[in-house]
Amino acid sequence: METVLRGRAWKFGDDVSTDHIIAGRYLTSTDPKVLGEHAMENVDPQFVKKVKPGDVIVAATNFGCGSSREQAPIALKAAGISCVVANTFARIFYRNSINIGFPVVECPGLPEKVKEGDTVTVDLAAGHVVLPSGETMPFHPLPPNILEILNAGGLVPKLRAELAAKSG
Amino acid sequence: MLAHTMTEKILAHASHQPSVRPGQIVDGYVDLLYMHEMLALALKPFNEIGVKKIWDPSKCVVTIDHWVPPPTPEVARMHQAIREFCWAQGISRFHDVGDHGIVHQLVVERGYVHPGELVIGCDSHTNMAGALGAFAAGIGATETAAVMATGKLWLKVPETIDVRVHGKLAKRTGAKDVILKVIQTTGDDGASYKAVEFHGDTIQAFPMNERFTLSNMTTEMGAKAGMIPSDAATKRYLEAAGAATAYQPLDADPGAAYLRTYDLDVDAMGPQVACPNNPANVKPVGEVAGVKIDMAFLGSCTNARIEDLRAAAELLKGEQVAPRVRMIVTPASQAIYRQAVQEGLAGIFLEAGATFTSSTCGPCFGGHMGVLGPKEVCISSTNRNYPGRMGSPEAQVYLGSPYTVAASALYGQITDPREA
Ligand code: SF4
């Protein structure tokens, strides 16, 4: 997995819920492409048109609160977002993201330092975010078990590899 | 010996360790895995993992609840895939259309959850099962696939927040009002990554249906689990549900260390309402009384049990829903639906001009069977009111108890049920 992610920042506030990220009316689809076309539509109907592959979401607290719908991180990933950096995340959104191999990082204080459109670099291995000014904001490195899942590309590839190792 | 919280004791038991501490990452072996339509999204990852059979079909429960009956061919296909999978895998506790219910309600009323167990559901309101003294937490689709393949999942042992509730509530005020007050106090992320335990005389006096409402909405505090120690009321409920009686309650030790303790005195507290667009934006009903409504919804896993329907029927009996207001009543399970018909509650709703539907999540998540249009205002017995939750992002959703929903339906505006 890519560990240095670089892209333009899209800023969001507190309590962006899974209802904001992908509305309930689209949950009948399990196709990432369809879901990606409607990412963040409840907040900004133009969002997916403006996003470029690699862009980063920078949000305040409790990002991804609400339902357990895995379609939320799937939609963001499919829309081209490379990573979400927030002060804090809601628990299930966090787990779902890691499990599908979508990096999410808690970096308290970052939102105040980043303007919409700033290019930021998120270095997952080094554990910091580099701002346009060159300033770096450190974050707690991800726990080893989470890094292991991300490095494998998600929980499914990790389990598949483990099972293959066992039977082989 | 160190004193432990319920969470620590249940997770130690589930991970086959003498004891665990908060922050520790453990592999928890699952006693019950329950699923709804999310299972359809878990099938692809499950197949990709490469195991043929699920680890233990006798530990799985499946129903369909979000879209029942299916409103589109896509959903019908989803249900087909679920059905075929359950039959092929030998999941005997698959509850298909007609025998279905909102999964959180279905697993408790059928006696599938027991105190002391590690219960995992593929839905955020799995917290509800914690009212029976289990550690019950929600996960997403990929992880559901992983649990089906392996029977276990990694869990970081959470710290626990102790919520103590004391006092006797005012008339027509109950667990929904208490939990809204608690969420107002903690905020909608006040218990993020944490477990919650409820104690106090108000909780002990609550019957199981009220306890389910409490645990259910710990999700709106951001909590990983929301537990209530088991007692005589739990035991009676389990017996009536036909649950196995050989369970091992794992309650907190005296002197267990909590991250925080909230003491809430609810003596004479009246009904509460969460205002748009956050479940923590809570006000006493008097402060929002008079807000005109277009729809009143009595449904969801939070508040659509038989007791909730009885409460609403008490106000609606012989009365009419206000002009220009539509009321939708959707029981939390088919068992409750049948009972409501037998008790005559269905007739009361229909006479009052309400719609009485078969069980589904439907309107709660803006899926079908009663979605809101732009600028419409709804009073709802559900648990979330983020923008777009029940339909149009411009709709306004207020959350309240079944009493508040019924009283508001009668007057066409948000109404204090004590005055109805
Ligand atoms: S009723 Fe609402 S909150 Fe409960 S499981 Fe269904 S969609 Fe979720």
Question: In this complex, which of B143, B365, B393 lies closest to A155 when CB atoms are compared?
Answer: B143
pLDDT band at A142; cut points 50, 70, 90: confident
Nearest to B409 by CA among B343, B417, B269, B332: B417
| Cβ within 8 Å, pair B388-A24 | yes
Sign of CA dihedral A162, B10, B130, B220: negative
Name every residue whose Cβ is closer than 8 Å to that of residue B232 and which is 6 or more positions away in sequence.
none
Atom of ligand 1 nearest to the CA of B65: 6
| Cβ within 8 Å, pair A30-B192 | no
In this structure, the answer to whether residues B260 and B306 fall within a common structural domain is no
> How far is Cα A100 from Cα A96, in angstroms, rounded to an integer?
6
In this structure, the answer to whether residues B318 and B292 fall within a common structural domain is yes
pLDDT band at A145; cut points 50, 70, 90: confident
Residue B285 corresponds to which amino acid? Answer: V
B34 CA distance to ligand 1 centroid (A)?
A: 14
**B1 lies in some domain:** no
Residue A30 pLDDT > 90: no
| Cβ within 8 Å, pair B222-A100 | no
In this structure, the answer to whether residues B158 and B198 fall within a common structural domain is yes
In this structure, the answer to whether residues B247 and B294 fall within a common structural domain is no
Percent of chain A predicted with pLDDT > 70: 99
* Residues of A whose CB is below 8 A from B72: 28
In this structure, the answer to whether residues B314 and B330 fall within a common structural domain is yes
Nearest to A70 by CA among A98, A112, A107, A103: A98
Q: What is the CATH number of the domain that holds B285?
A: 3.30.499.10
B228 lines ligand 1 (CB under 6 A): no
Percent of chain A predicted with pLDDT > 90: 80
- Domain boundary (B264, B283, B315) is at B264
pLDDT for the residue numbered A168: 62
In this structure, the answer to whether residues B177 and B52 fall within a common structural domain is yes
Which protein residue's CA is at the shortest distance from atom 6 of ligand 1?
B361
Q: Name the pTM for this structure.
A: 0.94
In this structure, the answer to whether residues B317 and B232 fall within a common structural domain is no
Name every residue whose Cβ is closer than 8 Å to that of residue A3 and which is 6 or more positions away in sequence.
A123, A124, A125
Nearest to B361 by CA among B99, B91, B32, B36: B36
pLDDT for the residue numbered B1: 65
pLDDT for the residue numbered A167: 76
pLDDT less than 70: residues of chain B: 1
pLDDT band at A29; cut points 50, 70, 90: confident
In this structure, the answer to whether residues B161 and B277 fall within a common structural domain is no
Residue A1 pLDDT > 80: no
In chain A, what are the domain boundaries?
4-167
Give me A64's structure tokens. Answer: 């991804």
Nearest to B218 by CA among B183, B184, B178, B171: B183
Mean pLDDT to the nearest integer, A33-53: 95
* Residues of B whose CB is below 8 A from A89: 192
- Domain boundary (B203, B233, B264) is at B264
Would you call A19 an interface residue with chain B, using a CB distance cutoff of 8 Å?
yes
pLDDT for the residue numbered B270: 97
In this structure, the answer to whether residues B258 and B288 fall within a common structural domain is no
Residue B295 corresponds to which amino acid? Answer: M
In this structure, the answer to whether residues B116 and B186 fall within a common structural domain is yes
| Cβ within 8 Å, pair A71-B222 | no
Give me the torsion for CA of B64, B66, B68, B73, rounded to 10°: -100
> How far is Cα B207 from Cα B193, in angstroms, rounded to an integer?
28
pLDDT band at A2; cut points 50, 70, 90: confident
CATH topology of domain A4-167: Aconitase; domain 4 (3.20.19)
In this structure, the answer to whether residues B104 and B196 fall within a common structural domain is yes
**B174 lies in some domain:** yes
In this structure, the answer to whether residues B256 and B332 fall within a common structural domain is no
Containing structural domain, residue B140? 6-264
ipTM of the assembly? 0.89
Q: Per the structure, how many domains does chain B have? A: 2
- Domain boundary (B230, B264, B298) is at B264
C-alpha angle A28/B384/B308, rounded to 5°?
105
Distance from CA of B386 to the nearest CA of A (A): 7
